[in-house]
Amino acid sequence: MVKVAYINVRLLDPATKLDAVGALLTEGEEIADFGPNLFKASAGWRVPSGIQVVDGKGACLSPGLVDMRVQLREPGEEHKETLKSAAEAAVAGGITSMVCLPNTDPIIDDVASVEFVARRARKVGLVKVYPYAAATKGLAGKELAELGLLAQAGALAFTDGVHALSDARVMRRVLSYASTFDLLIVQHPEEPALALGGAMNSGEMATRLGVPSIPKEAEVIMLERDLRLVAATGARYHAAHVSTAESIEAVRRAKARGVRVTCDTAPPYFALNELEVNGWRTFAKLSPPLRDESDRQAVVEGLKDGAIDAIASDHAPQDQDSKRLPFAQAAFGGVGLETLLAVSLDLYHNKAMSLLDVLANLTHKPAAIMGLKAGRLEKGLPADLMLFDPNRPWKVVADNFRSKSKNSPFDGRPVQGRVLKTIIDGRPVFSLEADT
What does the alpha-carbon distance between residue 237 and residue 240 come to, in Å, rounded to a whole number?
Answer: 10
Catalytic residue, chosen from 67, 264, 314, 346, is 314
As a dihedral over the C-alpha atoms of residue 417, residue 89, residue 365, residue 237, rounded to 10 degrees, the angle is: 140
As a dihedral over the C-alpha atoms of residue 75, residue 78, residue 80, residue 84, rounded to 10 degrees, the angle is: 90
What does the alpha-carbon distance between residue 105 and residue 113 come to, in Å, rounded to a whole number?
Answer: 10
According to the model, what pLDDT value does residue 292 have?
A: 97
Amino acid symbol at 310: A
According to the model, what pLDDT value does residue 190 have?
A: 98
Q: Enumerate residues 6+ apart whose C-beta is below 8 A from 41.
A: none
According to the model, what pLDDT value does residue 44 have?
A: 87
According to the model, what pLDDT value does residue 436 have?
A: 62
Phi-psi region of 75 (alpha: psi -120 to 50; beta: other; left: phi over 0): beta
According to the model, what pLDDT value does residue 172 have?
A: 98
According to the model, what pLDDT value does residue 110 have?
A: 95
Q: What is the mean pLDDT of each run of 10 residues along the chain (436 residues)?
A: 96 98 98 96 91 97 98 94 96 98 96 92 92 97 96 97 97 97 97 97 95 97 98 98 98 98 98 96 97 98 98 97 95 97 98 98 98 97 98 97 96 98 97 80
Strand partners, 41: 44
**Beta-strand runs (E) in 59-155:** 60-63, 65-70, 95-100, 128-131, 133-134
3-state secondary structure of 2: coil
314 in catalytic set: yes
According to the model, what pLDDT value does residue 1 have?
A: 87
Concatenated DSSP letters of 125-148:
-SSEEEE-EESBGGG-SSSB--HH
For the purposes of burial, counting CB atoms within 10 Å of the CB of 425, is it exposed (0-12), middle (13-18) or buried (19 or more)?
middle
According to the model, what pLDDT value does residue 434 have?
A: 76
